[in-house]
Structure 1
Amino acid sequence: MSLFRRAFLPLLLGAALGAPVFAVEMPADSAKPSTALPGVSLLGEPLAMPGLARTRQLRIYLPPGYATSGKRYPVLYMHDGQNLFDHATAYAGEWKVDETLDALAREGKLEMIVVGIDNGQEKRMTELNAWDNEKIGKGEGREYTDFIVKTVKPMIDRKYRTLPGREHTAIMGSSMGGLASHYALVQYPEVFSKAGVFSPAYWTAQPAFDFVASKPVPKDARVFLLMGEKEGPQMNADVKRMAEVVKKTGHPAANTVLKIVPGAEHNEAFWAGELREALLWMFAAPGGGAKALAVSR
């Protein structure tokens, strides 16, 4: 597919559906200087994705002191790995995940491992959608989520000092990644207990509402729904509708957040600015903060 079609096909689809414009992630400008902090690295060679006949690069963030702490850490899995840590690889700005978490670690509020799964560029719109869309294509989200659950997570738990239980495992993303994160929480509640659902693109997957309604997640699961007021009428209507669906499943209000930010738009700067609050809420332990647990080596 040409670069023109890769960049503009989703724009045309968004316009046709009366929804926000989402560009496909394009290759980054290698001339831009890296902004990644020392805790960030590429995680080996790209991994094969079973059922999708392609490979995918992973990135990992380790908290300060990981090498000498002897602790085990909660883990957050995030989509669009190119955009999380480094301006040099980001499509339209980075989330500053490493800066945010280094600061939280210094403050003694939260320490964690983050695994970023790179997006598939021209495959992004289908990989992050578990449902077929006649204008976008056949959904590959089931296979993509299985890749995270059955290939990526077991490898991370083997190689790193993680807290592997569901109560310490979260998933987060924005736009199509928000949709994918909500799907993962509902599809695999035994694996994930928290989802950061930022600016979810429910407009690409209307079956998601019935899916969430039919599969209530455990009462302790935490769902952080975030939207910018300027992301469009349909996006705002959809996230409010989903919050109602979650409520009607009987999920506790204390474990659901719906935050709509006045004036906020659909971009990484918005998501980066909300990351700290979302993580502290998602990982807050009953009666205390969320911290790594010390273990013997």
Structure 2
Amino acid sequence: MSHFYTSFDFSVHHDTALYSVYLQRNIVLDIVLPSHYHSSQEFYKVLYMNDGQDLERLHLLDVLKKSHHSSMLSPFIVIAVHCGERIMEYGAASQADYKERGAKAGDYTSFVLHELMPYIESKYRALKGPEHTVFCGFSLGGLSAFDITWHHPSHFGKAGVFSGSFWWRQRAFDEYYDDYHDRIVHRLVRESPWFPAHSKPHFWLQTGTEDETDDRNNNGVIDSIDDTLDLIAELEKKGYRLGYDVCYVEVQGGQHNQETWAAIMPEFLRWAFGS
């Protein structure tokens, strides 16, 4: 089942027709089509978004309206994927965390690559290739977007991570826990082969100074910022250049919520789709 409604200059297609064999459930999508989509034959870049059920709380349509009228962005399609078993489907595909959270992240990756993208490309005028395709997510959904993009640069050329859950770890905090070995995504990046310069995906990483209060190493920097900066350090060891291949945005007073992410969304969209 699907239906259209119009908001500002955009039409939003609420789509529940896709069934995922990998996830064993129906998928709910909100698909935001740019103005003049139905009156043209143009093909568009695509933004895939985890936690698509938060489209309204992120004020995305209002952001798109303002950006469109100011000619700040090239037009693109948004594929907002509503979450299912969020704590199980989002994570690192190769390894669940120490509580077995993210155990279905591999299935979610297969769904994105082998069911969602072919479905969208068959129904909508979506440009193909990493140079036209961006993935983003928030918190644990941001971790998922990073993991999928990192491991599949032939599909996604850019990823945006808002308050990413880069604390994701294979061991609980105890006397044996070690940041260097136990943070899963940092280790995955460290152990990955180097990317050829022409196929290296680019990343936009955001944190807020009030994302949390935890400071496990007592260095005066909250863990969410520490984990993100440490990930950037691992990326730099792979040849990434801060300010070029990876962008870091630290929001003063920013919290772990949709209000902060909505406020910084225009900056991310300019980075991803600036004309």
Q: What range describes the TM-score normalised by the shorter chain of this pair?
A: 0.7 to 0.9
Q: Distance in 2 between matches of 1:170 and 1:71?
A: 18
Shift of 1:138: 5.0
Q: Distance in 2 between matches of 1:36 and 1:268?
A: 20
Shift of 1:42: 0.7
Further displaced range: 170-179 or 213-222: 213-222
Q: 1:71 aligns with which of 34, 42, 50?
A: 42
Shift of 1:81: 1.1
Tell me the residue number matched to 2:24.
53
Matched residue SS, 2:206? strand
Unaligned runs of at least 5 residues, structure 1: 1-33, 87-93, 290-297
Tell me the residue number matched to 2:89.
127
8 Å contact kept, 2:31–2:79: yes
Tell me the residue number matched to 1:155.
119
Are 2:102 and 1:102 aligned? no
Deviation per CA, 1:47-77: give whole Å up to 9, x if none: 2223332222111000111111321110000
Deviation per CA, 1:8-51: give whole Å up to 9, x if none: xxxxxxxxxxxxxxxxxxxxxxxxxx996552121242x22233
Tell me the residue number matched to 1:62.
33
Identity of aligned residues (%): 30
Tell me the residue number matched to 2:101.
137
Counterpart residue type for residue 124 of structure 1:
R
8 Å contact kept, 1:217–1:251: no
**Please, what TM-score do these two structures have when normalized by structure 2?**
0.82
Tell me the residue number matched to 2:80.
116
Q: 1:40 aligns with which of 12, 26, 37?
A: 12
Are 2:191 and 1:214 aligned? yes
Tell me the residue number matched to 1:247.
236
* Ranges of 4+ aligned residues in structure 1 off by more than 6 Å: none
* Root-mean-square deviation (Å): 1.9
Counterpart residue type for residue 279 of structure 1:
L
8 Å contact kept, 1:186–1:217: no
Matched residue SS, 2:119? helix
Shift of 1:98: 1.7
Tell me the residue number matched to 2:155.
191
Shift of 1:194: 0.3
Q: 1:204 aligns with which of 143, 150, 168?
A: 168
Deviation per CA, 1:145-185: give whole Å up to 9, x if none: 21111111111111111111110100001100110011011
Q: Distance in 2 between matches of 1:146 and 1:99?
A: 32
8 Å contact kept, 1:50–1:143: no
Unaligned runs of at least 5 residues, structure 2: 170-182, 213-221
Deviation per CA, 1:200-252: give whole Å up to 9, x if none: 01122421111122334554522001000111311111011111111111123
Deviation per CA, 1:99-143: give whole Å up to 9, x if none: 2122222222221100011111xx211110123123353521111
Tell me the residue number matched to 1:258.
248
8 Å contact kept, 1:80–1:177: yes
Q: 1:274 aligns with which of 223, 243, 264?
A: 264
More strand by share: 2
Tell me the residue number matched to 1:292.
none
